[in-house]
Amino acid sequence: MEPLLDGTILVPNPLPAFAARRRLLHVNGVSSDRAKQQRDLNRLAELTAAHPLEIRGIHNQTHGLQADLLESLLGKAELYHFWPTVENNDRAGDRRRAYAKLLEQLITKELGDDADMLAIAQPKEVQHRPLTPETPAAISSLLALPFLQRLGWSDFAQYLYGVFPAGAPRPTLRLAYEIVKGLQAGAELYLVAHSQGLIITALACHIVRELLLPQTKWMETVHIIGYGPVILFADLPVELQGRTIFLQHRQDVVAETLSNLRNLDVWTNLQTQLQKALHYADDLLQTVHTDSHHTASFYLGLSPEAASQRSAQLLQILLTQNWTATPSLAALCGSRLILEH
């Protein structure tokens, strides 16, 4: 059996010396295995060598691109229901508070880097990762069940994920845990994520915000950097939207398509919506394989293209310079920077 990697911690190899009060938490995106995230962490260590941070990678385990895309769609649906303008927001608030209670239990423990977050958070309701390579076929068969027609989003999420966050629950809870532990250590936090990793990051930030309310000053020590972003600023807690910068290539079709997915509250007919999601995932499967502009390696400067090198230079600046003390960086906060050729 493949060892559980979902939500476990990876670090750069070799491990560089770092400043204890600056911490980078990285979440990988779709179709990224352990080797790819290890490469990305090593590259981030190279880019920040002059001003090193403690770098910890939260691994978002892939089970195939189609399953990852379905996870992304479900995670985005969860995020959409956290928007204050969405109807029935009380139900979403109930789910968010339930996740915060799980996190409250977790942060009382010193967890190993390979801890299974779900088993520790709720041992009586341990669920394996809901989406697997067989998920599309499994969901297709579920669509025939008459009771699904009567479920709204909250009930559907409860059915599929139980007490855990929708999308990718293990890395979501692990990142939320790492954020709180970083805050407790007095660290300045850089949340760096690619593709689906930004969905996980946004969900984790909502959970931490819910746990720490009414305190919000902690968010002044958090910076979010997303490359190949698949979320909107509105998906983040409002206090963090102005502390976030996205990097996106103009020809990154996947980021453009998934970022603009909204109105994911239309779950009144789940059969139709999920069938569309499965078809959509199949279409994007072909797109991602040919879209080099969405890959993490492109944004991290591992491609010879000029835009790839500029992206890496921007990331280096964002990770090594003080955003508040540098007017040009302060002006970029809350912006989606579009890379050209």
Q: How far is CA 60 from CA 63, 221, 330, 340, in A?
A: 10, 24, 30, 29
CA torsion angle 70 56 95 270 (round to 10): 0
Measured distance CA(279)–CA(64) in Å, rounded: 15
pTM of the predicted protein model = 0.91
Q: How far is CA 259 from CA 233, 274, 299, 332, in A?
A: 9, 18, 17, 19
Largest CA distance in the chain: 59
How far is Cα of residue 163 from the mean position of the Cα atoms in its chain?
19
pLDDT of residue 81: 85
Q: For residue 138, give the nearest of 209, 86, 67 by alpha carbon.
A: 67
- DSSP H helical segments within 162-269, as ranges? 169-184, 196-212, 238-241, 253-259
pLDDT of residue 156: 78
Residue 120 corresponds to which tokens in the numbers above? Answer: 């520790």
Q: What is the DSSP letter of 236?
A: S
Residue 185 corresponds to which tokens in the numbers above? Answer: 């250590």
SS3 196: helix
pLDDT of residue 247: 97
Tell me which H or E stretch contains 336.
Answer: strand 335-339
Q: For residue 264, give the nearest of 168, 154, 140, 100 by alpha carbon.
A: 154
Token pair 């969901």: residue = 139
- 191, 223 Cβ separation under 8 angstroms: yes
- 208, 236 Cβ separation under 8 angstroms: no
Measured distance CA(80)–CA(77) in Å, rounded: 5
User: To 5 degrees, how large is the angle CA 253–CA 40–CA 309?
Assistant: 60
pLDDT of residue 1: 41
Measured distance CA(278)–CA(141) in Å, rounded: 12
pLDDT of residue 243: 97
Measured distance CA(209)–CA(106) in Å, rounded: 15
pLDDT of residue 137: 59
Q: How far is CA 291 from CA 165, 199, 248, 254, in A?
A: 29, 20, 13, 8
Residue 273 corresponds to which tokens in the numbers above? Answer: 């919506």
pLDDT of residue 93: 83
Token pair 């190949």: residue = 228
Measured distance CA(223)–CA(322) in Å, rounded: 11
Measured distance CA(273)–CA(153) in Å, rounded: 11
Omega before residue 214 within 30° of 0, cis: yes
Hey, where are the domains in the chain? 37-339
Task: Give the pLDDT means over successive 10-residue stretches in the chain (341 positions).
Answer: 77 84 95 94 96 96 80 86 78 89 96 93 61 54 66 78 89 98 97 97 98 96 97 96 97 83 52 62 64 88 94 97 94 95 75
CA within 13 Å, CB half, 16: 21
Measured distance CA(256)–CA(179) in Å, rounded: 28
pLDDT of residue 92: 78
Backbone phi, then psi, for 2, in 5-degree steps? -65, 130
